[in-house]
Chain A
Amino acid sequence: MAKETIKTMHERDISAERTRSRAVGIIAKAFCYAFLIFMALVVLFPFYWMINSSLKSLEEYRQSVPTFWPQKVLWSNYAEAFTAASLGRLFFNTAYVGIVSTILSLVITILSAFAFARLEFKGKNLLFSALLATMMIPGELFTITNYSTVTNLGWMNTYTVLIVPFLVSVFYIYLLRQNFLQIPNELYLAAKVDGTSDFKYLCKVMIPLSLPTLISITILKMMGAWNSYIWPRLVANDDAHRLITNGLRNAFTDTTGDVNYPVQMAAVALVSAPLFLVFIFLRKYIMKGVSRSGIKG
């Protein structure tokens, strides 16, 4: 009798404990989702506000009670922004600099990563460590002298000045070398036995096997061209060579006061759009590249 009571009491305790922990679990889950959705809204809000504002008429934007979707959708703001900031020219300049510097940078990175990963020469490790050490130094330190160097070379206000100084990235060399090292040495030796030249082996075996890393590098490099601001402003801020970020800032110098925000926001949306398109299609590569790099652009 007593035994049975204890048993049922024990079962009751267990089931009570279960419902309690289930309730706690549900509350925790609900809190979890509430927090995440709140944060997601905070993250998304500026994008929403950008698009919402870019489609309003100036009168509607200036209403003291804001509207959360334009009463009349005004696409003409985009056309106006495109001409006001001469975005066509800026897009072309940025795409040109981005594509050329990415291609050249990939060639240089592949060649040197191959040398560091597969070839033997005196002082290899010393040279590689020295390169890695330069990564600690803030870029501003280089910029000061590079500014004088490119002035002396007569490169001011050319495409060259936007491309050449940043072709070598020690970080990309490091990233690709690590990838090359993962390719088994036996493959290389087998190719040697077959009489394949180093260069052919690099093109036929190593590059195809490292494609994901190369894509990540390409995207980061293109994003860099799209987002660079400081260097282009110093050395190529003329109408013919200006890049997109500088153009955007120059076209809309006023941030406070009575600004024509609908047009400004349309310009911002146009400048942001290519990055989002790239992100949508190549999300995996971007996130992989970023998680290994820790740099913006």
Chain B
Amino acid sequence: MVEGKQKWKAWLYLAPAIVLLLVFTVWPIINTVRMAFLEGYSGLKVAGGESFAFGVGNFVKVIKYQKFLSCLKNTVLLCVLTVPISSLLALLVAVFLNSIKWLQKPLQTIFFLPYVTNSIAIGMVFAAMFNIVGSFYGTDNEIIVTAGIINNIIEFFGGKAVNWINYGSSYAANITVMVIYIVWNALPFKILILLGGLQSINKQYYDAAKVDGTSRRRIFARITVPLLSPMLAYVVITGFIGGFKEYTSIIGIFGEAMGPADAAGRLNTMVGFIYDALSTNNQGRASAAALILFGIILVVTLINLQVSKKRVHY
């Protein structure tokens, strides 16, 4: 713009970033795709001097793998359950927060708190809340000392204690605990975004509706939701992307076993599958699974964008 000397100077400014990006971002993209298409690629076998045939064997193997299907099922189930629940709850909280003055700031801070937590650490707190202390194998002669605070609360209201995460707990109970934890964890970000969106809606729309005597429900459905729809779409799309990468929240509650004591690995997810393959030196399988995950995220995001194109009012 000002002088020609700048041309090489710009690259000087960019040099550190570009070098690191080439090594840790660009090369991985190329190499991961390469490893995914080399049959049975493994770091150990490379060291042994083996070479690999080109093909789609890794993908076929991954898709046929029973464990992978279970991981895919868990991931999709958690996504489909948590994204709508957390988005709806966040919408309600944001709309209500926006309509009050007294206590608005303190409540807003409280609702943001779960964001500044370590998902493993707080997962351990949730595990403590749901755990039946003293139950190891679910046999009759065990001395159960306390059923855990959540079961205490359920019993207080006249319900029956549930085996949430201990030995012999049901899949449905495990998933319920995970959904509660993930929703709890996902709320702050969604509330923050939606409340920001609500506060930027022009007050004139509401004044005009008031003059016309429009009912609250109609105002919500015809003004708030349409004007908030870009934020809603954003929250849902990022929710799905994050949901497909669910992993650490399960480690937080169930530990590295990824399931109750009698069914280790039952709650494993796609990301967990990739890391399991990686830590057993099956890079080919890990790469293929990562590409499948990328493909799924891409397709879901495109569908989301397509749907929001029709529904979102900008």
Q: Give A residues with C-beta under 8 Å from B.
A: 28-29, 32-33, 35-37, 39-40, 42-44, 46-47, 49-50, 53, 61-66, 107-109, 111-112, 114-116, 119-122, 124, 131, 134, 136-149, 151, 164-168, 170, 173, 189, 192, 198, 223, 226-227, 229-230, 234, 244-245, 248-249, 252-259, 261, 264-265, 268, 271-272, 275-276, 278-279, 283, 286-287, 290-291, 294, 296
| A138 touching B24, Cβ below 8 Å | no
| Assembled-state Cα–Cα distance A115/B92 (Å) | 43
Q: Nearest CB to that of B6 among chain A residues? A: A119
Q: Which residues of A contact B238 (CB under 8 A)?
A: 294
> From residue A75, how far is it (CB to closest CB) to chain B in Å?
19
Partner of B17 from the list A111, A146, A257 (CB cut-off 8 Å) is A111
Using a CB–CB cutoff of 8 Å, the interface residues on chain B facing chain A are 1-2, 6-7, 9-11, 13-14, 16-18, 20-21, 23-29, 31-32, 35, 43, 89, 92-93, 96-97, 99-100, 103, 107, 109-122, 124-129, 131-136, 145-147, 149, 152, 165-167, 184, 187, 189, 192-193, 196, 216, 234, 238, 242, 244-245, 247-248, 251, 253-256, 260-261, 271, 274-275, 278-279, 283, 286-287, 290-291, 293-294, 297-298
Complex interface: chain B residues within 8 A of A134 (CB): 21, 25-26, 29
10 nearest A-B pairs in the assembled complex, by CB-CB distance: A145-B28, A119-B10, A115-B13, A121-B10, A112-B17, A62-B145, A255-B127, A142-B28, A145-B31, A120-B1
Q: Which of A29, A249, A278 contacts B256 (CB 8 A)?
A: A249
Q: Given A121, A256, A283, which contacts B109 in the complex, CB threshold below 8 Å?
A: A283
- Determine the residue in chain B with the shortest Cβ distance to A283: B109
B216 CB to closest chain A CB, in angstroms?
Answer: 7
Given contacts A39-B93, A272-B121, 19 further A-B contacts (CB under 8 A): A44-B113, A111-B17, A112-B13, A121-B7, A138-B245, A140-B275, A143-B278, A144-B290, A145-B28, A149-B28, A168-B25, A249-B256, A255-B254, A256-B135, A257-B136, A257-B166, A283-B109, A294-B234, A296-B119
B299 to chain A, nearest CB (A): 12
CB <8 Å contact, B271 and A35: no
Once A50-B125, A223-B116 are accepted as A-B contacts, the answer to whether A198 and B9 lie under 8 Å apart by CB is yes
A36 to B146, CA, bound (A): 31
| Inter-chain contacts of B10 with A (CB < 8 A) | 115, 119-121, 124
Which residue from chain A places its CB closest to the CB of B27 in the assembled complex?
Answer: A145
Q: Is the CB of A42 within 8 A of B192?
A: no
- B residues within 8 A CB of A40? 107, 110-111
| A64 and B147 in contact, given A144-B28, A229-B251, A286-B116 (Cβ under 8 angstroms) | yes
Q: Are A32 and B100 in contact (CB under 8 A)?
A: yes
A49 touches B27 (CB 8 A): no
Contact for B24 among A35, A131, A146, CB less than 8 A = A146
Which residues of chain A are near B122, meaning CB under 8 Å?
Answer: 46, 50, 268, 272
CA A259 – CA B36 in complex, angstroms?
42
Chain B residue nearest to A271 in the complex (CB)? B121
**Is A296's CB under 8 angstroms from B115's CB?**
yes
Contact residue among B97, B112, B126, B297 (Cβ-Cβ distance under 8 Å from A287): B112
Tell whether, in the assembled complex, residue B35 and residue A145 are in contact, meaning their CB atoms are under 8 Å apart. Answer: yes
Chain B: CB-nearest residue to A188? B2
CB-based contact A253/B286 at 8 Å: no
A42 to B110, CA, bound (A): 10
Q: Which residues of B contact A108 (CB under 8 A)?
A: 16-17, 20
B114-A43 in contact (CB<8A): yes
Contacts of A140 in B (CB 8 A): 245, 271, 274-275, 290, 293
Q: A203 vs B314: C-alpha distance in the bound complex, in angstroms? A: 39
Residue in B7, B111, B152, B278 whose CB lies within 8 Å of A144? B278
Q: Which residues of A contact B35 (CB under 8 A)?
A: 144-145
Least CB distance from B87 to A in Å reads 14
Complex contact B145–A229 (CB within 8 A):
no
Pick the most buried of A46, A50, A134, A275: most chain B CB atoms within 10 A of its CB.
A46
Q: Which residues of A contact B129 (CB under 8 A)?
A: 46, 49
Contact across chains for B113 and A164 when beta carbons are under 8 A apart: no
Cβ-defined contact, B184 with A43, below 8 A: yes
- The residue in chain A whose Cβ has the minimal distance to the Cβ of B43 is A148
